[in-house]
Amino acid sequence: MTSLPEFLKELFESWPLLGILPVWFYSIVAIFGLLFLFLFPFAGVAVYVERKIAGDIQARIGPNVVGPYGILQWIADALKLLLKEDIIPTNADKKLFILSPMLIFISGACAYAVIPFADNVILANLNIGIFYLLAITSMVTLGLILGGWASNNKWSLLGGLRAAAQVVSYEIPVALSILTVVLVTGTLDMAQIVKMQGPFYWNIFHNPFLFISACIYYIAALAEANRTPFDIPEADSELVSGYNTEYSGMRFAIFFLIEYAECFIICAVATTLFLGGWHLPFFDLSSLTLGLRIPLQIMVFMTKSILLLLTMMWIRWTLPRYRVDQLMKLCWEVFVPFSFACLIGTAFWMVLFKGKGIPELILGLFVS
Amino acid sequence: MTSYDSLFYVFAAVTIIPAIVTVFHPNILYAALSLFGSFFGVAGIYVLLGADFIAATQVLIYVGGILVLILFAVMLSKNIYGMTFQDEKKKKILPTLFGILLLGFLIKLITTVHWNTTLSEEGPLPTTAALGNLLLTEYLLPFELASVLLLAALIGAIILARSK
C-alpha cells in the first residue's frame, strides 16, 4: 500500500533520467498534476454540466454558443473571470477580505490529498485519512464566516453567519455516519477502507443501519457544502448572493471553484466509504496488469462519484429551498437521533453477526 | 541543527507569535482570528511528536469548532472596532498569582515528561488503536467523567436556551 509519489518513483525507477529524482520531486509533480490536470478542469466542466442540466430540467437550452453544444463555455467563463478587475470595497476589511478565499482554497484543495482514486493512486496514504479530511474541510467554515464579515455588507454577513451555523450543525450527522463506517471497517485509512470492501462487500449493503447512514451522510453533506435545498447561506432570493456578494473577478472564481471541488469531495468520500471505492462487482480488477488496472480503477471510481454528483445537480434544480428554522430542525431532530441510532445498531450488528455483513452472510449459506 | 529541530522552531514560532497577537491586539476580531495560527502551530507540534490523530483532532475541534464559535460570538457583538477591552481598569494580583502557578505547573510538566525528539523515517505509526485501548482501560474513569461533564454542559445549554 503506497502513495502516489512513491508509486511514481517506483514506476520510473529504471528510466534513465527520471530514476534518480527524489520522492519529494514526484510529490510536487503529483500535487500540481492533481490541481491543474484534474481539479481546475473538473470544476470548470462541472459548471458547464450543471448549467446544461439546469437547462434540460427547466426546458431551456443552456449554454450553446461557444463551441459545439456550448462545451467551451467554461473556458470562456474562466478567461473572463481572470481578466475582470479585482474590486475590493472601500469599507471592507482588506486583509481578511483577501485571506478568506485563500483559506477556502487551501482547505478545499488539501482535502484531495486522501482521495483514493485507484489502488496506489492516493496523494498521501495517511493512517487517519478520513479523520484528516473531516478536520481539513472544517476550515472552510472559517473562510466563509470571514469573507462574510470582511465584505462589510449586511447580506454577506448574514450569509456568513448562516453558513457557520449550518456547517457546524451538520458536521455532527456527517461525522456520526462516517463513524458508523469506521465501526465496520475498523480503520480510518481511506485506501484500507476501500480494500476491505472487496469486489461486492460494499459498506452500504453491510447492514440496514449502514444503508440509512449512507443516506444521512449524503443529505447532510449536501447541507455542509451549502447546496440546494440547503443553500440558505447564499439564498439568492433573500441575500443577493450571500457571503460572496462583494467578491468579483478571480476571488469570486475561487469561491465558485471550491464549491464544485467540495461537491466532488463529498461524492468521492461517499463512494469510498459506502460504494466500494474502485471495486467493480463480480469482476476482480486487481488481477489485471498494471497498465490496464489503474485506468480502469480510476474510471470505476469516477463513474460512481460522477453519478452521485449528477444526482446532486438534479436535486439542486428540482427541490425548493428550506427555511432556516426547518433546516436546523431537520438536523437536530431528525438526522442526529437517526445517526446515533444507526451507530448503536451497527455496533450491535457487529457483535451479533461477528462483523459479517449481509452479502457475506448470504454467501455463507451457499458455500458451507 | 537537524531538520527536526528547524521544523520544531517553525511550529513553535507559528504557535507563539499569534498567541502574543491574541493577547495584545486591540481589535477583538483580529485577536480571536490569530488564534487560528496558534491552533495550527500546536497541531504541527503534535505531528512532530508522532501523534497524528491528536493533531487532526486539534484542527477539527479548535479550528473547525471553537474558533468558528468564538468568531460567531464576536461578530454578533457590538463595537468590534471601537472596543478597548484592554484599557479597562486592571486587576493585577489574582491574575499574576494564577499566571505564576500555571507557569510553575507547565515547567514541571516540561521537565518531567520524556519527549520524543527524533523524526522517524517512515512517518508516524498508527496511534488510534492504542489511544482507544488506553481510553477504555487505563483512563476509563477520566474519560467517563469528561463525558458526564460534557453532557451536563449540553443539558445546561438547553435549559438556558429554553428558559424564556
pLDDT at A248: 78
For residue A145, the chain B residues in CB contact (below 8 A) are 68, 71-72, 75
**CA Rg value for chain B:** 19
Q: Which three cell numbers stand for residue A17?
A: 533520467
8 Å CB contact between A157 and A318: no
Percent of chain A topping pLDDT 90: 6
Please tell me the predicted confidence (pLDDT) of residue B146. Answer: 92
Confidence of residue A341 (pLDDT cuts 50, 70, 90): very high
Strand spans (E) along A130-283: none
The pLDDT confidence band at residue B118, using thresholds 50, 70 and 90, is: low
From the centroid of its chain, how far is CA B44?
12
Q: Answer yes or no: is pLDDT of B85 > 60.
A: no
**Where in chain B are the domains?**
1-87+98-124, 126-164
Is the pLDDT at A35 greater than 70? The verdict is yes
For residue B104, is pLDDT > 90?
yes
Contact A356, A364 (CB under 8 A): yes
Residue A22: asked if its preceding bond is cis (omega within 30°), the reply is no
| Chain A residues lying within 8 Å of B64, measured CB to CB | 135, 138-139, 141-142, 168, 171
The one-letter code for the residue type at A42 is: F
Query: In the numeric block, which cell numbers belong to residue A11?
Result: 514506476
Res A98 pLDDT > 80: yes
Residues A194, A117: Cα–Cα separation, whole Å = 10
Lowest mean pLDDT among A112-121, A223-232, A297-306, A308-317: A223-232
In chain A, domain spans: 96-367
Q: Is A152 left (phi over 0), alpha (psi -120 to 50) or beta?
A: left
C-alpha cell at A160: 456568513
Give A1's pLDDT tier (boundaries 50, 70, 90).
low
Report the pLDDT value the prediction gives residue B152, as an integer from 0 to 100.
Answer: 94
Spatial contact of A136 and A112, defined as CB atoms under 8 Å apart: no
Across the interface, do B64 and A160 touch by the CB < 8 Å criterion? no
pLDDT band at B1 (very low <50, low <70, confident <90, very high): low
- Per-residue pLDDT at A14 exceeds 60: yes
pLDDT tens string B3-29: 777 888 888 898 999 999 888 887 788
Q: For the whole model, what pTM was predicted?
A: 0.85
- Classified as helix, coil or strand, A348 is helix
Compare all CA atoms of chain A with the CA of B128 and give the residue at the minimum distance: A128
Q: Is the pLDDT of residue A42 over 60?
A: yes
Write the CB contacts of B151 (distance below 8 Å, at least 6 apart in sequence): none
pLDDT of A219 strictly over 80? yes
Lowest average pLDDT, out of A20-24, A298-302, B69-73, B138-142, goes to: A20-24
Give pLDDT, residue B145: 94
**Contact residues on chain B for A132, CB-CB shorter than 8 A:** 52, 56
Please state, in angstroms and rounded to a whole number, the distance separating the CA atoms of residues B155 and A281.
47
Which of A127-136, A168-177, A199-208, B122-131 has the weakest average pLDDT? Answer: B122-131
Q: Which residue has the cell 510538566?
A: B109
Sign of the torsion formed by the C-alpha atoms of A271, A274, A279 and A281 = negative
Q: Which three cell numbers stand for residue A332?
A: 437536530
Task: Give the pLDDT of residue B124.
Answer: 62
Q: Considering chain A, what is the average pLDDT of its residues?
A: 83
H or E segment to which residue A297 belongs:
helix A290-316
Per-residue pLDDT at B115 exceeds 60: yes
Tell whether A113 lies on the interface with B, counting CB pairs under 8 A: no
Nearest CA in chain B to A149: B75
Q: What CATH number was assigned to the domain covering residues B1-87+98-124?
A: 1.20.120.1200
- Beta-bridged to residue A76, according to DSSP, are none
Res A12 pLDDT > 80: no
pLDDT of res. A19: 67
Confidence grade of residue B133 (pLDDT, cut at 50, 70, 90): confident
